[in-house]
């Protein structure tokens, strides 16, 4: 009887999603809808519209600060925006990016990630491959959940020679898959796969036992993420193939966000026009 009562209390608890909520969605086959968010007002709106994960991305360097890349974004910027989003959010899971240069060593990663967690993040995201193994492991040991990011990693824009599709050769595809598995085994509980051909991301997603969130990685991932400004059609410059303007046909921003969530959940987005 006690066990049943406890189970009932837990199942009826209303509050912010946690990592276990996302893992249950993954196990149940429910697609995870994730959007970037940078302020309190949009956090409240996205939460109300059913967005599962609010992501304070270092993409704020591009869409909020007007930079050509994410590299100028500082930890102070990320802490500020994470606090703003956290104050507006009630129930969505909240992830914050670790900006460029803040996780070169386990010690610096722990110190900087702790500041983002204190600001309201429930998980931090790191870009890179197998070299992050020890850093991810150390963060997890300190109670800091980690989201890995493989494929196109914007913080590597200069070494990649631009924002290009990754995994186009057998060797490159294998490396991305191996990186994702290494970081999962190190303790990452979520993986973002960016700008990878859809069949490669399908293979990676099926090899993982944690959710894989795609951005330009096709329809076979466990969920999808877009930059808010892209999905609202207000980003300047050339649009990536994987971007869809959800304001088309919608009368309000709220309707566009709800449309995005619905299309992710039903696996209507992305379709072949948004894939590599």
Per-residue pLDDT at 14: 56
pTM of the model: 0.93
Residue 192: which of 55, 47, 5, 23 has the closest Cα?
Answer: 55
Question: Which burial class, exposed, middle or buried, applies to 238 when counting CB atoms under 10 A from its CB (0-12, 13-18, 19+)?
Answer: exposed
Three-point CA angle 117, 178, 159, nearest 5°: 75
pLDDT per position as a tens digit, 194-239: 999 999 999 999 999 999 999 999 999 999 999 999 999 998 878 8
- The label of the residue with tokens 């944690």 reads 210
Is 52 annotated for ligand binding? Answer: no
Which of 94-98, 150-154, 157-161 shows the lowest per-residue confidence on average (mean pLDDT)? Answer: 157-161
Q: Mean of the pLDDT values across residues 7-32? A: 78
Residue 127 labelled as part of a binding site:
yes
59: annotated binding-site residue? yes
Is 194 in the active site? Answer: yes
From 97, 107, 90, 168, select the one nearest 128 (Cα to Cα): 97
**CA distances to 56, 107, 129, 180, 209 from 205, in Å:** 23, 30, 16, 9, 8
Whole-angstrom Cα distance, residue 85 to residue 81? Answer: 6
- Determine phi and psi for 195, rounding to 5 degrees: 50, 60
User: pLDDT band for position 8 (50/70/90)?
Assistant: very low
**Active-site annotation holder among 3, 194, 262, 263:** 194
> Is residue 61 scored above 70 in pLDDT?
yes
Asked if residue 244 has pLDDT above 90, the reply is yes
Q: Using the predicted structure, report yes or no on whether residue 6 has a pLDDT greater than 70.
A: no
Check whether 8 is labelled as a binding-site residue: no
Average pLDDT, rounded, for the chain: 94
Mean pLDDT for the stretch of residues 254-263:
98
CATH fold of 19-274, please? Answer: TIM Barrel (3.20.20)
Give me the DSSP letters along 41-58: HHHHHHHHTT-SEEEE-T
């Amino acid at each position: 009887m006690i066990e049943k009562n406890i189970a009932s209390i837990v199942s009826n608890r209303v509050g912010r999603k946690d990592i276990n909520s996302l893992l249950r969605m993954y196990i149940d086959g429910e697609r995870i809808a994730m959007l970037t968010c940078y302020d309190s007002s949009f956090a409240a709106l996205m939460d109300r519209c059913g967005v599962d994960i609010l992501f304070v991305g270092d993409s704020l360097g591009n869409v909020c600060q007007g930079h050509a890349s994410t590299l100028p974004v500082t930890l102070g910027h990320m802490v500020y925006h994470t606090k703003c989003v956290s104050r507006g959010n009630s129930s969505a899971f909240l992830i914050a990016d670790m900006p460029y240069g803040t996780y070169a060593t386990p010690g610096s990663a722990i110190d900087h990630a702790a500041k983002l967690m204190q600001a309201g993040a429930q998980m931090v995201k790191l870009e890179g491959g197998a070299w992050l193994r020890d850093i991810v492991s150390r963060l997890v040991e300190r109670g800091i959940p980690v989201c890995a990011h493989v494929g196109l990693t914007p913080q590597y824009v200069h070494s990649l020679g631009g924002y290009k599709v990754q995994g186009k050769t057998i060797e490159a595809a294998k490396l991305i898959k191996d990186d994702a598995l290494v970081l999962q085994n190190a303790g990452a509980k979520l993986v973002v796969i960016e700008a990878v051909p859809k069949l490669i991301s399908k293979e990676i997603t099926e090899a993982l036992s944690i959710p894989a969130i795609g951005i330009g990685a096709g329809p076979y991932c466990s969920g999808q993420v877009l930059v808010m400004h892209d999905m609202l059609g207000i980003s300047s410059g050339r649009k990536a193939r994987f971007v869809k303007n959800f304001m088309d046909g919608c009368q309000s921003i709220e309707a566009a966000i709800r449309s995005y969530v619905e299309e992710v959940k039903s696996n209507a987005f992305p379709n072949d026009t948004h894939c590599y």
